[in-house]
Amino acid sequence: MSAAADTAIAPVSADQNKTPNLVHEDVVHPHEDHTVAPTRVVAIAVDASKFSEYAFDWAIQNLVRPETDQIVLMNVRPTVSLPAVYGTLYVDFSKEFEAIEQANKKESHDLLRAYANKLPAHKYNIRGVALRGDARDEISYKVEDIHADMLVIGSRGLSGFKRAFLGSVSEYLIHHLKVPVIVPRPTEAEQA
């Protein structure tokens, strides 16, 4: 697990960073009045899927209290794996690795900003957190680390067989987190 920060407004040293794979954290829409502490921390895990977008929209419309809640948007990108090389041939993939990592980082940061920018800055207190690693582990750790009161996450809509075979991040989190996990699902009418 890496403890390095990508780019941060206030860099955090490895020994200060409590989230092992936190790669970037940014306060996207801070409240003007910093004397008001949020009453709830609502974590929302986001990715580029339509299920994630539905969950985000549902949370904003039905759950979040704009004046008092802090929204923590989380996106987890996978770690980049280098191919295994056998024999005595040495191939340096460091440039390719770095290019892929930078592209993934930019995509993650852009995604978090896009979600945050859907909301009026004067009304919402939003933090964006980009993580790297296995989504189940990283979301679990970060939800606990920020003392979130709940987590909202989308569902991929996998069939029972695929869910049993591949596993589901949302299903894992439902069974392993100590806070409520809300998985909003669109109705058939909303899917049409």
43: Cβ contacts below 8 Å, ≥ 6 apart? 72, 74, 139, 142, 143, 146, 148, 150, 151, 152
Reported as a single tens digit per residue, the pLDDT across 135-189 is 999 999 999 999 999 999 998 755 555 555 545 899 899 999 999 999 998 888 8
Give me the pLDDT at residue 7, please. Answer: 33
Give me the pLDDT at residue 157, please. Answer: 58
> Among 128, 143, 148, which Cα is nearest to 41's?
148
CATH number for the region 22-191 comes to 3.40.50.620
Give me the pLDDT at residue 1, please. Answer: 36
User: 121: pLDDT confidence band, cut at 50, 70 and 90?
Assistant: confident
Residue 192 has pLDDT above 60, yes or no: yes
Q: Which residue has the higher pLDDT, 153 or 101?
A: 153
**Extents of the domains making up the chain:** 22-191
| DSSP designation for 26 | E
User: 2: pLDDT confidence band, cut at 50, 70 and 90?
Assistant: very low
Reported as a single tens digit per residue, the pLDDT across 30-86 is 555 545 666 899 999 999 999 999 999 999 999 999 989 999 999 999 887 766 666
163: Cβ contacts below 8 Å, ≥ 6 apart? 171
How far apart are the C-alpha atoms of 126 and 120, rounded to whole Å?
Answer: 10
Indicate the pTM of the whole model: 0.76
Residue 130 in tokens: 């980009």
If 0-12 CB within 10 Å is exposed, 13-18 middle and 19+ buried, where does residue 174 land? middle
